[in-house]
Chain A
Amino acid sequence: MWGETVKDTQQKEKEVVLESGIKVKPIYTPEDTKDIDYTEDVQDPGKYPYTRGIHPYMYRARPWTMRQYSGFATARETNKRFKYLIEHGQTGLNVAFDLPTQMGLDSDDTRAEGEVGRVGMAVDTLKDMEYAFEGIPIDKISTSLTINSTAAILLAMYIVVAEKQGLSLDQIRGTAQNDILKEYIGRGTWIFPVEPSLKLITDTIEYCARHIPKYYPVSVCGYHIRESGANPVQEIAYAFSIAKAYIQRVLSRGIDLNDFIPRISFNFDIHGNFFEQIAKFRAARRLWAKIVKNEFGATNPKAMMMKMIAGGGGGGLTIEQPENNIVRGAYYALISALSGTQTMALCSYDEAYTIPSEKAAIISLRTMQILIEEMGLCDTADPLAGSYYVEALTNQLEDKIVDLMNKVEERGGIVSAISKGEIQREVSRQAYLYEKMIQSGELVKVGVNKYRIVEEEERPIEFHEYDPSLVKQQIRMLNQVKRTRDNKEILKNLEKLRAMAQTDENLMPYIIDCVRAYATVGEITIVLKEVFGKFEEPVGI
């Protein structure tokens, strides 16, 4: 007979706790899901509350968009990589900008030294964006711009590039990351204080709602919050609190929420426990639908559907035994597919230590294609629905996210908590605890604190080579643009922008005028900084 041995009992009683603090039982049964009402809590895919996905047939109708993050050096180099990826079956673009562009500095600024074209493509003027998208039909390939504090400027450039390709505003598709609040928590490319930054975001959302109906003007990022150390509950709770803050601002501009909420999307992180991540996304989808319907009173179902990009999780990758990251990436992609994501941007195996090589980017693309073409992940929607474990975990995670969101509200809301550095402190405390657990071996990271191959760690790793000569190229081009543009026109437009920045007026049209005349990212940022000031970072740890 199958009696329970002493060892069985010990195993059973050993506590298993997820990052979110949820205790996992050794066995789940119908008892764990007996309070779930299918129609109310789960429902078919494509129906409120969208727990199982936002489309009735999910990937059966259309697989997820494959959108690898890429961009480096100059616009011309990046354009080549874009075309290469499209040629290999990538269906969307995801543009990486270098740090000077993200921080509003021109390539010839002394503070940009050593950083031009290093972690992404350098953009000084519209000319760079024209080169980046040369020969790429931007009405057909949707493009995501990973840009935040200078998003209004880069979006303006993108709009003018579209114009020059002969497209009308309503043909422009794509996404701007444009989530400044999370930049104060993680990633750190903030420039202006919180309030004027929020105003700029609100301007871009309002402008898009009124003029570029197919554009997603903001992608709220739990991703970077988690990469900064947050656990899965904090990731979703803080992201949703941030999204609510944006919605409240846009509502004050008198736009119908049913028109603009559908254009807000999310960017989430995948690493850590397999089932916890899947349940996190199912819980998040259901909760977002409830928030939009019940708290904001939206009636358009499209507004209630949480659209997301997921698949990456740089924080889960390791520099040790880097090939293991190919395997991790494949699981992240599988999690992502089982979670009903709309777009995947899979992390590449070399991402823990460098920007992705061409080979690594292709392996990521192939990983997704294998899931779609060979593994049957597109055959049926939300195949894990009804699993006692997954459904129970989905419920528990939703409760925890709601609790934390309420706590943020009670403390005065997310905007004030970020301004004071409270969220930042909580996330870095979590990062410290996590790192302590890795160092003690309590949390296993394969190849790092267990199953190490010491001689393997001495092996040189391939890095993306940074070519310092391209800085000269970039600065030469910037100077050429400056020589040939109409400087009087620039001055006039910049002064107009300065005047309008002191009012409540939407700044997008004035920024568009500046970029059209080939004003630089740096020139526009300086004007805004002179009016808005600079963020004073709370540095208490």
Chain B
Amino acid sequence: MLDKKIRVLIAKPGLDGHDRGVKVVAQLLRDAGMEVIYTGLHQTVEQIVETAIQEDVNVIGLSILSGAHYPITEKLMKRLKEIAMNDILIIVGGNIPRRDIDGLRALGVRGVFPTGSKFEDIVDFIKKNVG
């Protein structure tokens, strides 16, 4: 893993069009030396998984600000389980209330980074948990 760039899929699932944060994180991870693929807006869970397979990513980062983080994340985790893709690191960012963090973790999300999270925390988390 050391000599290979970490590949991250940054995804905007659902109808929420607020992409300021997701584009900031994409630039951050790229500057941190990772290979970043951004899906663009309005992606279905199926599209995101498809892209993740095609791009052979180590990480999927979901950005959700509308409040629909539970139903969307649940769907993604279910889909990944169906096709036995268990080795991808899933992180979620956006407008996530503190009280929902444990619930998202229980779904299998490894890292939750609400709006305002520290840059170094996100980068360190990914580096530590990939490979």
Residues of A at under 8 Å CB distance from B?
99-100, 102-103, 105, 111-115, 118-119, 183, 186-190, 227-229, 318-320, 352-354, 428-429, 431-432, 435-436, 439, 448, 458, 460-461, 463, 466, 537, 539, 541
A113 touches B119 (CB 8 A): no
Task: Tell me the minimal C-beta distance from B118 to chain A in angstroms.
Answer: 7
Q: For B40, what are the chain A residues with a Cβ–Cβ distance below 8 Å?
A: 537, 539
**Interface check B24, CB cutoff 8 A:** yes
- CA–CA, A466 to B18, complex, Å? 19
- Contact stretch, chosen from B52-60, B65-73, B84-92: B65-73
Q: Contacts of B36 on A, CB cut-off 8 Å?
A: 541
Contact A111:B15 (CB < 8 A) given known A103-B42, A227-B20:
yes
Q: A114-B72, A460-B98 are in contact. Are A541 and B23 (CB under 8 A)?
A: yes
Among B39, B66, B99, B115, chain A packs the most CB atoms within 10 A around the CB of: B66
The distance in angstroms between the C-alpha atoms of A229 and B66, with both chains bound, is 19
**Contact for A429 among B27, B71, B97, B118, CB less than 8 A:** B27
| Chain B positions within 8 Å of A460 at CB level | 98-99
Q: A271 CB to closest chain B CB, in angstroms?
A: 14
Q: Is the CB of B17 within 8 A of A115?
A: no
A317 to chain B, nearest CB (A): 11
Q: Find out whether the CB atom of B97 lies under 8 angstroms from the CB atom of A439.
A: no
Choose among B23, B99, B114, B119 the residue that contacts A431 (Cβ–Cβ < 8 A).
B23
Query: How many angstroms between the C-alpha atoms of A187 and B16 in the bound complex?
Result: 8
A118→B68 CA distance, assembly (Å): 8
When C-beta atoms are compared, the residue in chain A nearest to B96 turns out to be A353
Give the chain A neighbours of B66 by CB distance below 8 A. Answer: 99, 115, 118-119
Taking a contact as CB atoms under 8 Å apart, the answer to whether B24 and A353 are in contact is no
- Which residues of chain B are within 8 angstroms of A102 by Cβ–Cβ distance? 15
Q: Are A320 and B19 in contact (CB under 8 A)?
A: no
Is B41 in the interface zone, CB < 8 Å from A? Answer: yes
| B20 and A228 form a contact (CB under 8 A) | yes
Whether A114 touches B18, Cβ cut-off 8 Å, given contacts A429-B27, A448-B116, A460-B99, is no
> Is B14 located at the chain interface by the 8 A CB criterion?
yes
How many residues does chain B have at the interface if contact means C-beta atoms less than 8 Å apart? 35
Is A187 within 8 A of B18, CB to CB?
A: yes
Find out whether the CB atom of A319 lies under 8 angstroms from the CB atom of B116: yes
Can you identify 17 A-B contacts, CB atoms within 8 angstroms? A99-B17, A114-B14, A114-B70, A115-B14, A227-B20, A228-B19, A319-B114, A319-B115, A353-B115, A428-B19, A428-B20, A428-B24, A431-B20, A432-B28, A435-B119, A460-B98, A541-B38
Choice from B15, B24, B44, B116 contacting A99 with Cβ under 8 Å: B15
Does B26 make an interface contact (CB < 8 A)? yes
The answer to whether the Cβ of B79 comes within 8 Å of any Cβ in the partner chain is: no
Question: How far is it, in angstroms, between the C-alpha of A439 and the C-alpha of B121 when the chains are bound?
Answer: 11
Residues of B contacting A537 with CB < 8 Å? 40-41
CB distance from A225 to the nearest CB of B (A): 11
CB of B16 within 8 A of CB of A466, answer no
Please measure, in the bound complex, the distance between the C-alpha atom of A115 and the C-alpha atom of B115, giving whole angstroms: 20
Q: Among B18, B27, B70, B97, find the residue whose CB has the most chain A CB atoms closer than 10 A.
A: B27
A435 to chain B, nearest CB (A): 5
Roughly how many angstroms separate A539 CA and B99 CA in the complex, as a whole number? 32
Please determine whether B71 and A353 come into contact, CB atoms closer than 8 angstroms. no
List, in ascending order, chain A residues with CB within 8 A of B15's CB.
99-100, 102-103, 105, 111-112, 115, 189
Q: Tell me the complex Cα distance, A119–B16, Å.
A: 10
Query: Bound state CA distance, A354 and B17, in angstroms?
Result: 16
Q: Which single member of B24, B30, B67, B98 contacts A118 (CB below 8 Å)? A: B67
Chain A nearest CB, measured from B5 CB (Å): 16
How near does chain B come to A211, taking the closest CB pair, in angstroms? Answer: 31
Minimum C-beta distance from A155 to chain B (A) = 20
Cβ contacts under 8 Å, A428 to chain B: 19-20, 23-24, 27
Tell me which residues across on chain B come within 8 A of A432, comparing CB atoms. 23-24, 27-28
Instruction: Determine whether the beta carbon of A461 is less than 8 Å from that of B27.
Output: no
Judging by beta carbons under 8 Å apart, are B14 and A539 in contact? no
B71 touches A113 (CB 8 A): yes
What's the Cα separation between A466 and B67 when bound, in Å? 9
Least Cβ–Cβ distance between A454 and chain B, in angstroms: 13
Minimal beta-carbon separation of B125 from chain A (angstroms): 15
Q: Report B-chain residues with C-beta under 8 Å of the C-beta of A318.
A: 116
A436 nearest in chain B by CB position:
B119
Known pairs A186-B20, A431-B24, A448-B116; A353 contacts B41 (CB<8 A):
no
Residues in A with CB closer than 8 Å to B42 are: 103, 188
B38 touching A114, Cβ below 8 Å: no
Shortest beta-carbon contacts, A-B, top 4: A188-B17, A114-B71, A428-B23, A99-B15
Closest to A229 in B: B20
Q: What residues of chain A lie closer than 8 Å to B14, measured between beta carbons? A: 99, 111, 114-115
Residue contact A463 to B17, C-beta cutoff 8 Å = no
A188 adjacent to B67 (CB under 8 Å): no
Q: Is the CB of A541 within 8 A of B98?
A: no
Give every chain B residue within 8 A of A229 (Cβ-Cβ).
20, 24
Q: Nearest chain A CB to B51's CB is how many angstroms away?
A: 11
What residues of chain B lie closer than 8 Å to A466, measured between beta carbons? 67
Nearest-CB residue, chain A, relative to B26: A541
Beta-carbon nearest neighbor of B19 in chain A:
A188
Complex CA–CA separation, A118 to B99 (angstroms)? 18
Bitwise, B102-126 to A at CB < 8 A (1) or not (0) is 0000000000001110110000000
- Chain A residues near B24 (CB-CB < 8 A): 229, 428, 431-432, 435
**Which residue of B has the minimal Cβ distance to A227?**
B20
Considering the complex, give the chain B residue whose CB is closest to the CB of A435. Answer: B24
Nearest-neighbour CB distance to chain B for A465, whole angstroms, equals: 10
